[in-house]
Structure 1
Amino acid sequence: MLVFQEYDREAARDYARRWALGRNPAYMDYELWGGDCTNFISQCLRSGSIPMDYNGKNVLEKWYWNSDKNRTPTWTAAQPFYRYIIGNNNENTQNFGIYARLAQYNELEIGDIVQLVYDNNAYHNMIVTDVVLDGEYVIDYLICQHTYDLLDYPLSMKVGQRRYIKILGYYK
């Protein structure tokens, strides 16, 4: 039986801040092949203890990166990433790997994901690295991203329709 594990939000944030303006040489840089944003977010989640997922019937039901030639599109492409992390688990499942759900703006925490979408398809991923509060009210969030690298950038300055994803944890 799989056991629910907590997501290490601070480790994911720390990784995001460490590599937001650079590239971890352990991974391929996809900047010249459509962008590196999802690859970067996947690395952040992995640093937050989310395990690579080799289960599933096809590559769109798995999430891993071993090398440029041995990876899933869910690791490196925004819309497949979205389908995987939202579809892998729900309140009635305990599948190996990530458990995430759609969220409202005011529910976001450090380590959660913001996607830019067009016509309901994701084309960009960012990770929340800080919550800007006025008392108990959310004023803004700071994000890190690749593909136009940004470190602790105000989310309010990003243009486009957004989708918010809460990372709840994972099963292992």
Structure 2
Amino acid sequence: MFFEYNRIAAVEYARRWALGRNPRFHDYENWGGNCTNFISQCINAGGIPMDSHGSNIMKQWYWYSDNNRTPSWTASQPFFEYLVNNNHYDTDNFGVYAEEVNYNELELGDLIQLIENNKAYHTMIITRVLLDGDELYDYLVSQNTYDLLDYPLSLKVGQRRYLKIYGYYI
């Protein structure tokens, strides 16, 4: 059974914790950054359930404690690989359904990753969409690790990939 992603709940969570840390989760700022941990929390707040159903740890996505978590919860590239490989248009595996899309296909609650040599090193969430009439003007993003709230994506430097979260299967 398929359920839609609650974009508003994900964005509300992101806006609440972009400039701080939820004490329920470990802060990885001093161990390479907290960005993907923060984004995982955001999409989990948007209703995407943790996933311990995959055949191995690289096909799962969860955080129960600092000692009981998957690389996909806290590291940008494993997070990307989990997101885009878990479900496709013709599958219904437990957990998230997401895909890489074009810039103009993004909505509130979707994700942007900064990449180098085709590997992600940073993840952000869209927390506002700026329009000029009916035309897309810019996205505002929020993030941990160099904490930012509603920062213009157009001011971010580097190559990007864009990820749309559709929902999840149970």
- Please, which of 48, 55, 58 is the counterpart of residue 56 of structure 2? 58
Shift of 1:58: 1.0
- Please, which of 62, 66, 85 is the counterpart of residue 68 of structure 1? 66
Q: Residues 66-113 of structure 1: CA distance to partner in whole angstroms, max 9, x if unpaired? A: 000000000000000000000000011000000001111011100000
TM superposition score normalised by structure 1: 0.98
**Within 2, Cα distance between the matches of 1:170 and 1:136?**
30
In the other structure, the counterpart of 2:113 is: 115
Determine helix, strand or coil for the equivalent of 2:26.
coil
* 2:37 partner amino acid: N
Q: Residues 31-62 of structure 1: CA distance to partner in whole angstroms, max 9, x if unpaired? A: 00000000000000000000000111111100
**Within 1, Cα distance between the matches of 2:84 and 2:135?**
27
Task: Report the number of matched residues.
Answer: 170
* RMSD over aligned Cα atoms: 0.4
Determine helix, strand or coil for the equivalent of 1:94.
coil
Structure 2: unaligned runs, 5 residues or longer? none
Q: Which aligned segments of 4 or more residues in structure 1 are displaced greater than 3 angstroms?
A: none
Determine helix, strand or coil for the equivalent of 1:44.
helix
Determine helix, strand or coil for the equivalent of 2:168.
strand
In the other structure, the counterpart of 1:170 is: 168
**Within 1, Cα distance between the matches of 2:134 and 2:166?**
22
TM superposition score normalised by structure 2: 0.99
Over the matched positions of the two proteins, sequence identity in percent amounts to 64
**Within 2, Cα distance between the matches of 1:159 and 1:111?**
21
Determine helix, strand or coil for the equivalent of 2:167.
strand
1:100 equivalent to 2:98? Answer yes
